[in-house]
Amino acid sequence: MTCSEFLALLDDLIDDSVNTETRTELERHLHGCEHCEVTFNTTRKTIEIYRSHEIYELPTSLRERLHAAIMARCKKGC
């Protein structure tokens, strides 16, 4: 397997949507290719970081104000 072939299947590997046979091939390539291993690990980490950190917080006071405004208008029939 070449690095381009590995890259084409990178997302499927990250999302765990490859069959056992392809997974074995991808893992074999990873063991022998430092560049692809770094790309794989750091891409996975990228997603994890964005998932686990709230970058646009909705402060409670604002949340309550917006919530109240939405519900007040819904009760009036919008």
Task: Give the footprint of another protein on this chain (CB under 8 A).
Answer: 7, 10-11, 13-16, 23, 27, 30-31, 34-35, 37-39, 41-51, 53-56, 58, 62-63, 66-67, 69-71, 73-75, 78
CA separation for the pair 75, 3 (Å, rounded): 58
- Angle between the N-to-C axes of helices 20-32 and 34-52, in degrees from 0 to 180, rounded to the nearest 10: 110
